[in-house]
Amino acid sequence: MPSAAALDFDSTKPTSPFYNDNHREWRDTLRRWVAKEVAPFVDVWEAAGEIPLELYRKAAEVGLLGLGYPEQYGGTSAGIDRFHHIVTAEETAQVGAGGIFASLLVHAIGLPPVLALGSEEMKNRIAPPVLAGERHICLGITEPDAGSDVANIQTRAVREGDVYVVRGSKMFITGGLRADYVTAAVRTGDPGYGGISLLLIELDRPGVSRTRLEKMGWWASDTAALYFDDVRVPAANLIGAENQGFFGIMLNFNGERLGMAASATAYARTCLVEAARYARERRTFGKRLADHQVIRHKLAEMLRQVNATQAYLENCAWRVQQGETPVADLALLKVQATLTMEFCAREAMQVLGGAGYLRGNKVERIYREVRVNAIGGGSEEIMRDLAARQMQL
């Protein structure tokens, strides 16, 4: 339990057997970097609706962009495990501005299919500049009429000799406004899962256009709609085998859901810490807000839910690290984490009252970002249904 003297992000976390000195060193490094390069500029970047391109290079220099990626492409993989990524989620969440890191780290969903299924030529061409922060890659799955329903993807790529001609659109693409590449799901075959391929599309090709999307939250994330009007893409840009793209998409989703769960849990803890700090400072009816029983119970319940979710998160991360693919648990973990985030954001807002409703504070930003976490990467409803199917009821 956290002590009265130190009620902060670290002290509210239970002792865990999963972290070693290497994880703690990474936490210290990243915490210093975020404090210097990100925290002072959050409000400016939120208002601008984007992060500066220079931040990608700085993130590469500190080792953030390359964390967990092969050394041969400029990454750092030796000694890196799933818990380094949980540490990353925790340290980046504490500024309470998810859009900044959604854009900065969008390669974490755009690049893995290239490295897992792409040709050696493609890997060597794409990965090094992305991990160096010089080029940017996003993921294009969602369409106006196909989100979690991946089998209904309509964007079509027709083979004509040594090129694919692509026509269609992608919607809600994180980082899509300034990305150089998109790892896109396209239909190359019959309807359904079996007719989907993954195709790397350079976004400076003739026929590509994009539109900025304004959002409730994640203001600093350049989110876009992408349009493909007979875009000619080399057949060599096919990622994996034709009509076998659904497998790559599902592999990507499992990692994305684990990462989103880690972030949502960290945002929930940040809300707890902000609410507790305010409750200890604010005085009402002649005593501290924290001395009112109803407020104390709110904070205790927030702590209970956050730490229970943290335990589920770390168990799932450990299982994945052992080579398991616990699809149902990863789906339910994401639901658990986003519900916990939603609860803590609401309760923190209640504790802060009018102060929380004003723009420019962590709780207000996190409150606006609940829904994107609950929907993105697979909505709560889809996740529950996926878990039920895995249960073979």
Q: Give the predicted TM-score (pTM) of the model.
A: 0.94
Torsion, Cα 171 177 178 179, to 10 degrees, reads 10
Name which CATH class applies to 137-243: mainly beta
Tokens linked to 257 = 């859901």
Question: Could you say which of 3.40.50.1980, 3.30.390.50, 2.40.50.140, 1.20.140.10 is the CATH number of the domain covering 247-390?
Answer: 1.20.140.10
Place of tokens 């979710």: 309
| pLDDT for position 341 | 98
Return d(Cα 379, Cα 372) in angstroms, integer.
9
CATH code for residues 21-131 = 1.10.540.10
Phi, psi dihedral angles at 211 (to 5 degrees): -130, 135
d(Cα 324, Cα 174) in Å, to the nearest integer?
28
Would you give per-residue pLDDT tens digits along the chain (393 residues)?
Answer: 555 456 899 999 999 999 999 999 999 999 999 999 999 999 999 999 999 999 999 999 999 999 999 999 999 999 999 999 999 999 999 999 999 999 999 999 999 999 999 999 999 999 999 999 999 999 999 999 887 788 899 999 999 999 999 999 999 999 999 999 999 999 999 999 899 999 999 999 999 999 999 999 999 999 999 999 999 999 999 999 999 999 888 888 889 999 999 999 999 999 999 999 999 999 999 999 999 999 999 999 999 999 999 999 999 999 999 999 999 999 999 999 999 999 999 999 999 999 999 998 999 999 999 999 999 988 999 999 999 999 888
| CA triple 380-381-385, angle to 5 deg | 115
pLDDT at 247: 87
Give catalytic residues, as residue numbers.
256
* Structure token digits, residue 376: 């993105």
> Any idea where the domains of the chain sit in the sequence?
21-131, 137-243, 247-390
pLDDT of residue 149: 80
Assigned token pair, 339 = 């519900």
> For residue 7, what pLDDT is reported?
84
